[in-house]
Amino acid sequence: MKPFLALVKRDLTLGLRRKSQIYQPLVFQLLVVTMFPLALGSGAKTLALIAPAVIWILALLASLLTLDQIFKNDYDDGSVESYVLTSYPLPMSVMAKVLAHWLLSGLPLVLFSPIIGVLLHLPASSYGILMLSLLIGTPMFSFMGSIGSALTMSLKHGGLLLTILVMPLLTPVLIFGASAVVESSLGNSASQPLLLLSGLLILSITLIPFAAAAAIKINLE
Amino acid sequence: MPIITAQDISCQRGNFLLFKPVSFSLDFGQSLLISGPNGIGKTTVLESIAGLRGLQQGRLSFKDQDLSKFKDDWFENSLYIGHKTGNKKELSCLENLRSFLQIQGIEVSETQAEDALESVGLAGYEYQMAGSLSAGQKKRLALARLLLVKFSVWILDEPFVNLDVSGCDWLLGILDNHIKNKGILIITAHDNKTIKEKVTSELILESVGL
């Protein structure tokens, strides 16, 4: 088995056994979204208006819950050495870690988003665009998170620092992702923000593994 | 020409050199014990030799290649086991052993892994989660990797810690065998009377002083 696949398989096995990485973000989303109608106290119209922004912000916050775990566990138990002390390129291993993290906590957010949409009265015509935008956007949460996690993995409580580091980098994702859903809920074409979002994803795939690999090396010094 | 040579190497913590620069060279079948008081940098120097961190000064080479530039050959020939065992507590012993090596590109069959677990005294624990093992058993699980790789260089940081008497005897036997088979060993050990007799050379780290 290729090292890449071995790492993905190991992380998926771990994630499915721990489970918290999968259900925590979903439960968090569900809890927060039920607060909105209660606090706003107004009808479906207001909810539908804010739905795109709320869903995207919730997805961002929910994924922040698990980002620090990408490298922290491996650093704490020493298994980070298994992919640093090898001739297999570290950026590829970072890619494997990101892929596994997204499959465990990003993909469930995408699949769960229609339920959040229903709770916020999102127009039925926007569900496709909502899921598509999250499908392109959530991998970037994992990618950016890999840099943040690599930089903070040796800290005991690096969660807040990671959020401060990663959040500003994710604003473009939030802007284009939410605006895609807004456009489609207004009945306009969402192709422009979606294309920009895809461009950002390609940029992330090509550049971030190298940045995260460098961050891991710095942290081991 | 020795296989591994170190010239005036030293490591730093913060802005301070940890120990006086040291030099050594190792050929096949030779072994090195690194000793010195607590906090002198034994673990740090081992991590630097293994390739986890950089050296503050000096030059380390393997087969005449500078290790700060060419690491692939070194990684394919050396195995480092440090204080952290690298075991995942939610994986079984068998899964831990196999996945750790697979991530390094080393394919190990289930029977090979089972045999290795048996020889480190973990027979019957194959499907037990590593989180439920004792500290000594976790160490044994990590040391089982030694039996499955054909690397010529072993770098071991305090491998005897947490091992019981039979475990120490077993490990001494394995190390002996490795050196006899023209392997290279770089090791630190606190209770080093027995290991001192086995190794071919000893390196004592001394503090730089003020």
A-chain residues near B50 (CB < 8 A): 85
CB contact under 8 A, A221 and B105: no
**A167-221 confidence digits (pLDDT tens):** 999 999 999 999 999 999 888 999 999 999 999 999 999 999 999 999 999 998 8
> Which pLDDT belongs to residue A114?
94
What is the chain A residue with the closest CA to B96? Answer: A10
Mind listing the pLDDT tens digit for each residue in A60-82?
999 999 998 999 999 999 999 99
Q: Is A84 on the interface with B (CB under 8 A)?
A: yes
User: Is the CB of A82 less than 8 angstroms away from the CB of B86?
Assistant: yes
Query: Are the Cβ atoms of A82 and B103 closer than 8 angstroms?
Result: yes
Tally A–B CB contacts below 8 A.
83
Contacts of A81 in chain B (CB under 8 A): 52, 80, 82, 84, 86
Closest CA to A90 of A216, A221, A218, A220: A216
Q: Which two tokens stand for residue A145?
A: 């998170």
Q: Verify whether the Cβ–Cβ distance A85 to B80 is below 8 Å.
A: yes
> CB contact, 8 Å: A189 with chain B?
no
- At B192 the pLDDT is 66
Using CA coordinates, name the residue in chain A closest to B83: A78
B86 part of contact set with chain A, CB < 8 Å: yes
Q: Is residue B100 within 8 angstroms of chain A, CB to CB?
A: yes
* B85 to A78: CB separation less than 8 angstroms, yes or no: yes
pLDDT at A99 over 90: yes
Domain range list for chain B? 1-77+151-210, 91-149
Residue of B43, B75, B103 to mutate, testing the A interface (most A Cβ within 10 Å of its Cβ): B103
Across the range A92-107, mean pLDDT stands at 96
- Confidence at residue B210, expressed as pLDDT on a 0 to 100 scale: 60
What confidence score (pLDDT) does residue A191 get?
A: 92
B127: contact with A, CB 8 A cutoff: no
Minimum CA–CA partner of A216 in chain B: B52
Comparing CA positions, the residue from B208, B207, B209 lying closest to residue B38 is B207
pTM for the complete prediction?
Answer: 0.92
The architecture (CATH level 2) of B1-77+151-210 comes to 3-Layer(aba) Sandwich (3.40)
Q: Out of A3, A18, A220, name the one closest to residue B103 (CB).
A: A3
Q: What is the pLDDT of residue B193?
A: 75
What is the Cα A100 distance to its own chain's centre?
12
Nearest chain A CA: its distance from B28 CA (Å):
21
Helix residue spans in chain B (DSSP H): 42-50, 72-75, 93-103, 110-119, 135-143, 145-148, 165-180, 193-198
3-class SS letters over B112-140: HHHHHHHHCCCCCCCCCEHHHCCHHHHHH
The tokens describing A17, both together, are: 């056994």
More confident: B169 or A42: B169
Cβ of residue A4 closer than 8 Å to a chain B Cβ = no
Contact of A16 with chain B, judged by CB distance below 8 Å, is answered with no
- d(Cα A10, Cα A17) in Å, to the nearest integer? 11
d(CA B150, CA B76): 9
| Confidence at residue B12, expressed as pLDDT on a 0 to 100 scale | 83
Q: Do B105 and A86 touch (CB under 8 A)?
A: yes
Q: Are A88 and B52 in contact (CB < 8 Å)? A: no
CA distance A22 to A179: 27
Beta-carbon separation of B100 and A220 below 8 A: no
Average confidence (pLDDT) over A127-142: 96
Binary contact (B54, A17; C-beta < 8 A): no
Kindly determine whether residue B99 and residue A9, on different chains, have CB atoms separated by under 8 Å: yes
B28 interfacial to chain A (CB closer than 8 Å): no
Residues A154 and B83: their CA atoms lie apart, in Å, by: 15
Please list the pLDDT of chain B residue by residue as tens digits (210 residues): 788 999 999 888 878 888 889 999 999 999 999 998 888 889 999 999 998 888 888 889 998 888 888 888 899 999 999 989 999 999 999 999 999 999 998 999 999 999 999 999 998 998 999 999 999 999 999 999 999 998 889 999 999 988 999 999 999 999 999 999 999 999 998 876 788 888 888 888 888 876
User: Burial code of B44-75, b = ≥16 C-beta within 10 A, e = fewer?
Assistant: bbbbbbbbbbebbebebbbeeeebeeebeebb
CB distance A159 to A97 below 8 Å:
no
